[in-house]
Amino acid sequence: MQTEPILAIRGVSKTYASGHQALKSVDLDIAKGEIFALLGPNGAGKTTLISIVCGIVTPTTGTITVAGRDAQVDYRYARSVIGLVPQELSTDAFESVIATVRFSRGLFGKKRDDAYLEQVLRDLSLWDKRDAKLLELSGGMKRRVLIAKALSHEPDILFLDEPTAGVDVSLRRDMWRLVHRLRERGVTIILTTHYIEEAEEMADRVGVINKGELLLVERKAELMKKLGKRQMEIALSEPMTAVPPELAEWDLALIDEGHKLRYVFDAQAERTGIPSLLRRLADMGVAFKDLDTSKSSLEDIFVDLVEERAA
Ligand SMILES: Nc1ncnc2c1ncn2[C@@H]1O[C@H](COP(=O)(O)OP(=O)(O)OP(=O)(O)O)[C@@H](O)[C@H]1O
């Protein structure tokens, strides 16, 4: 990375008082203006990592540098640059939307700026609801209020923890649009998600985390190249113990305890190699019951990675 990262995470680990190790020495640099998606299954450690960066949870080891300053030493500064959209709303249900957002801004010692807050509420389609009490809002609207609160103090880095879990398609789209608009203004965005499609849609880079370990960090474009692959699974009538040497010219793997052959090929290639492979199998007298072709997605890459490490 050419310029200094806006966020640098070094050797960060976390063992909770219960003895559970939620994070194992995570290193990660985030560039200014980047949209980074942290992808991982339940319990992977995503919320723990975000909470550490936001100063809510103390790391067991490691350092965090936010805009060049140590986040644990200069925690006030770190908090003022960061906006966090948590998974759940914990705020006074009897307050109005506008009062809640104004109050959040005030907490950061920022001067009242109604024009800015109006823009935030308009961006989130909340302006018409500005005088509604929080308890009168739908779940999706409450989600939007969470984002408005996190943006109220004009943060440079926005963390979105599972921004679209359980929300409808229209809110998801609004959220994606908002994220892109914020990036245009130079805001750095880090989101956690279970949804591969969300990472595909929004992120510049994707990090895959599982069991507290960052397994992969890659530009989305690189991952998308891998998405250009297709695969064919051949269900064999008789299981095999190894891929026969006669089939060495194809990229084959034996899966399902030898009951299936998986052939990965480039979907864009003129010759996929499928007809010749099937001919060769027939010549060898290898019988099969079924053929199934599918696109290998970010999801497969993710599952493969997670399973590989679990093995
Ligand atoms: N305060 C705590 N005390 C003990 N263990 C905890 C605590 N908070 C989280 N954990 C454990 O740490 C692990 C990581 O949790 P974390 O919430 O960071 O995962 P996550 O990736 O955000 O999961 P999800 O997608 O379900 O939100 C889990 O096994 C969780 O049970």
63 CA → ligand 1 middle, Å: 20
Place of tokens 């595909």: 200
- Residue 129 sits in the same domain as residue 249: no
- 120-164 pLDDT, tens per residue? 999 888 999 999 998 888 888 888 899 999 999 999 999 998 877
Same domain, 100 and 152: yes
Which one of 193, 208, 224 terminates a domain? Answer: 224
* Same-domain check for residues 183 and 249: no
Q: How many CB atoms lie within 10 A of CB 206?
A: 26
Please tell me whether residue 20 adopts helix, strand or coil conformation: coil
User: Using CA positions, which residue lies closest to atom 25 of ligand 1?
Assistant: 42
d(CA 220, CA 297): 12
Q: How many other β-carbons are positioned within 10 Å of the β-carbon of residue 259?
A: 16
Q: In what helix (H) or strand (E) does residue 147 lie, and over which residues does it extend?
A: helix 139-151
Question: Are residues 218 and 285 part of one domain?
Answer: no
> Distance between CA atoms of 299 and 311, rounded to whole angstroms?
18
Task: Compute, in angstroms, the gap from residue 188 CA to the centroid of ligand 1.
Answer: 24
The CB of 47 under 6 Å from ligand 1? The reply is: yes
Q: Which CATH number do you get for residue 245?
A: 3.30.70.100
Atom 6 (ligand 1): residue with closest C-alpha?
16
Structural tokens at position 299? 């999801």
Q: Are residues 37 and 60 in the same domain?
A: yes
Domain-embedded: residue 300:
no
Give the span between the Cα atoms of 76 and 280, in whole angstroms: 67
pTM tops 0.90, yes or no: no
* Residue among 54, 67, 75, 68 at smallest CA distance from 12: 54
- Establish whether residue 48 lines the binding site of ligand 1, counting it when its CB lies within 6 angstroms of any ligand atom: yes
Residue 56, ligand 1, Cβ within 6 A: no
Ligand 1 neighbourhood includes 268 CB (under 6 angstroms): no
**Phi then psi dihedrals of residue 36, to 5 deg:** -115, 130
Q: Find the 302 Cα to ligand 1 centroid distance in Å.
A: 20
43 pocket-lining for ligand 1 (C-beta < 6 Å): yes
Integer angstrom CA distances of residue 102 from 110, 115, 133, 265: 10, 11, 14, 55
163 and 233 together in one domain: no
Cβ–ligand 1 distance for 3 under 6 Å, the answer no
Residue 28 located in a structural domain: yes
Q: Could you tell me if 36 and 68 lie in one domain?
A: yes
Ligand 1 atom 3: residue of nearest CA: 16
DSSP codes, 45-107: SHHHHHHHHTTSS--SEEEEEETTEETTTTHHHHHHHEEEE-SS--S-TTSBHHHHHHHHHHH
Is the residue at 302 inside a domain? no
- Whole-number Å distance between alpha carbons of 6 and 242: 49
Domain range for 271 is 229-295
Last residue of a domain, one of 224, 240, 256: 224
pLDDT of residue 123: 86
User: Which residue puts its alpha carbon closest to atom 31 of ligand 1?
Assistant: 43
Ligand 1 pocket check for 94: Cβ under 6 Å: no
When divided into structural domains, the chain yields a total of 2
Cβ–ligand 1 distance for 120 under 6 Å, the answer no
**Do the beta carbons of residue 138 and residue 166 sit within 8 Å?**
no
| Residue 155 sits in the same domain as residue 263 | no
Considering the domain architecture, whether residues 194 and 251 belong to the same structural domain is answered as no
Q: Kindly tell me the sign of the dihedral angle through the C-alpha atoms of 274, 276, 280, 285.
A: positive
Distance CA 35, CA 202 (A): 7
Question: Using the 8-state DSSP alphabet, how is residue 4 labeled?
Answer: P
Say how far apart CA 201 and CA 223 lie, in whole Å.
13
Q: pLDDT 10s digit of each residue in the chain, 311 long?
A: 457 899 999 999 999 999 999 999 999 999 999 999 998 888 889 999 999 998 889 999 999 999 999 998 988 898 899 999 887 766 677 889 999 999 999 988 889 999 999 999 998 889 999 999 988 888 888 888 999 999 999 999 999 988 777 777 777 887 888 888 888 888 999 998 877 777 877 899 999 888 999 988 989 878 766 656 778 999 999 999 999 999 999 989 999 999 999 998 876 677 888 999 999 999 999 999 999 987 655 566 666 666 666 55
Atom of ligand 1 nearest to the CA of 194: 25
Q: Where are the beta strands (DSSP E) in 132-225?
A: 157-161, 188-193, 205-210, 213-219
> Of 190, 224, 258, which closes a domain?
224
Q: Is 38 in the pocket of ligand 1 (CB under 6 A)?
A: no
Find the 252 Cα to ligand 1 centroid distance in Å: 38
Which atom of ligand 1 is nearest the CA belonging to 51?
18
C-beta neighbour count of 26 within 10 angstroms: 22
User: How much distance in Å is there from the Cα of 213 to the middle of ligand 1?
Assistant: 13
pLDDT at 188: 95
- The residue whose two tokens read 């599982």 is 210
Tell me what pLDDT residue 253 has: 93
- How many Å apart are CA 44 and CA 22, to the nearest integer? 7
Judge if 101 and 25 occupy the same domain.
yes
- State which of 14, 23, 38, 42 you would mutate to test the pocket of ligand 1, scoring each by most atoms of that ligand within 8 A of its C-beta: 42
pLDDT at 1: 46
Do 185 and 36 fall within a single domain?
Answer: yes
Are the CB atoms for 188 and 33 separated by under 8 Å?
A: yes
Distance 127 CA to ligand 1 centre (A): 35
For atom 12 of ligand 1, the residue with the nearest CA is 22
13, β-bridge pairs: 61
Query: What pLDDT was estimated at residue 11?
Result: 97
Do 183 and 189 touch, CB atoms closer than 8 A? yes
**Whether residue 204 is found in the same domain as residue 271:** no
